[in-house]
Amino acid sequence: MKKSLNIDYQIFSDISQLDETDRRLLEMARSALDKAYAPYSGFQVAAALMLDNGIQIVGTNQENASYGLCLCAEQNILATAGSEHFHSAVKVMAITARSLNKPVDHPISPCGACRQVLSEHEDRHQQPIRLLLQGETGEILCFASAKDLLPFSFSAKDLL
């Protein structure tokens, strides 16, 4: 039996097409790029999120000479949100990136590990996280749920 999977998402040609809240989050993420610590890859990633209580948080990637210990912006920001605002769900997250080596003119998507962490956060709060993805320039992709990027995620229901 063959099945197919379709993912719905929106494309915005530039930030002016976003509503005020989304525009502000993306601008916050862009501003946070300067706080990224990426001396090895030169690839800086920043995220900004809004919780269901209206609080907004930013986070960035933090590299390490031992590459396996590098921390992604998405995981950093979700850990901060979970630690400081344990009972609050993330409503929306904006993610952007820039490279010191070449322009990033297309949306950057979370890595597989970050997709799993995002999925777990959605499960934990029983609420989707809307994602806004953009590079330094170019179009913006909007997904209604982080699970759209990881449709066959591992979850608590898979544990025995």
Q: Is residue 156 part of a domain?
A: no
| Domain enclosing residue 93, as ranges | 10-151
Token pair 């934990």 is found at: 124
In a domain, 56, yes or no: yes
Look at the pTM and tell me if it is higher than 0.75. yes
Report whether 88 contacts 51 (CB < 8 A).
yes
Give the total number of structural domains in the chain. 1
Angle at 15 between CA 100 and CA 94, to 5 degrees: 65
Q: Would residue 30 count as lying in a domain?
A: yes
Task: Spot the catalytic one: 20, 27, 63, 74.
Answer: 74
Structural domain contains residue 142:
yes
Residue 57, amino acid: I
Answer yes or no: are the C-beta atoms of 51 and 85 closer than 8 Å. yes
CB within 8 Å of 135: residues ≥ 6 apart? 96, 97, 98, 103, 104, 105, 106, 107, 108
For residue 32, the domain's CATH number is 3.40.140.10
Residue 2 lies in a domain: no
DSSP states along 13-29: SSGGGS-HHHHHHHHHH
Residue 74 annotated in active site: yes
Show pLDDT as tens, one digit a residue, over the chain (160 residues): 999 999 999 999 999 999 999 999 999 999 999 999 999 999 999 999 999 999 999 999 999 999 999 999 999 999 999 999 999 999 999 999 999 999 999 999 999 999 999 999 999 999 999 999 999 999 999 999 999 999 999 888 888 6
In a domain? residue 160: no
Amino acid of residue 81: A
